[in-house]
């Protein structure tokens, strides 16, 4: 089994619902996103998946979040756009595009700062 990872980023504003503290107010982050996939075998070029494809699919998806007010997006209706919920959203959307017989999305990690992140994966 092979494990591949890419890093990407987006900037957006949000506020946390039902939170007691400063993060209940409107604020923004420059989020870093790690996408990890597993490949059971390599293709003829010796690749599990071309990084170019993995980066492009991730970039396209992050374009829906970049420079947006996340609380207004349909997916986050009725829930806080926390790092935890953002990682779950990205995981489910990327899994639809990436999972096949050879490639399986393993985990999405969303860093809201240099020292704090949340990951989502399914067993």
Half-sphere exposure of 26 (CA within 13 A, CB side): 7
Asked if residues 118 and 85 have their Cβ atoms less than 8 Å apart, the reply is no
Cα torsion through 24, 62, 5, 47, rounded to 10? 170
What is the reported pLDDT for 101? 86
The per-residue pLDDT of the chain, averaged, comes to 96
pLDDT of residue 66: 98
Judge whether residue 123 has pLDDT over 90: no
Q: Could you tell me the CATH number of the domain that includes residue 87?
A: 3.30.479.10
17: tokens are: 């619902």
- Is residue 14 part of the annotated active site? The answer reads no
| H or E element that contains 32 | strand 27-39
Catalytic site residue from 23, 84, 92, 117: 23
Q: What is the pLDDT of residue 91?
A: 98
In the predicted model, is pLDDT for residue 14 greater than 90? yes
Q: Rounded to an integer, what distance in angstroms lies between the CA atom of residue 92 and that of residue 16?
A: 21
Choosing from 24, 67, 72, 122, the catalytic residue is 67
Share of the chain above pLDDT 90, in %: 97
Considering the candidates 14, 29, 106, 112, report the single residue annotated as catalytic. Answer: 112
Q: Which of the two residues, 46 and 78, has the higher pLDDT score?
A: 46
74 in a structural domain:
no
The boundaries of the domain holding residue 58 are 2-11+31-67+82-120
Total domains in the chain come to 1
Whether residue 24 is contained in a domain is answered as no
**Two structure tokens written together for 71:** 């609380």
53-97 per-position pLDDT tens digit: 999 999 999 999 999 999 999 999 989 999 999 999 999 999 999
For residue 11, the model assigns a pLDDT of 98
């Amino acid at each position: 089994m092979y494990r591949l990872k890419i890093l990407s980023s987006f900037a957006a504003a949000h506020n946390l619902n039902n939170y007691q503290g400063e993060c209940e107010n409107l604020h923004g982050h420059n989020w870093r996103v790690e996408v990890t996939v597993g490949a059971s075998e390599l293709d003829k070029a010796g690749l599990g998946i071309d990084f170019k494809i993995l980066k492009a699919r991730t970039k396209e998806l992050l374009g829906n979040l970049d420079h947006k007010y996340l609380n207004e997006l349909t997916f986050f209706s009725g829930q806080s756009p926390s790092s935890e919920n953002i990682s779950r959203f990205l995981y489910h959307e990327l899994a639809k595009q990436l999972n096949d017989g050879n490639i399986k999305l393993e985990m999405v990690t969303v860093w809201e700062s240099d020292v704090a992140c949340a990951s989502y994966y399914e067993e």
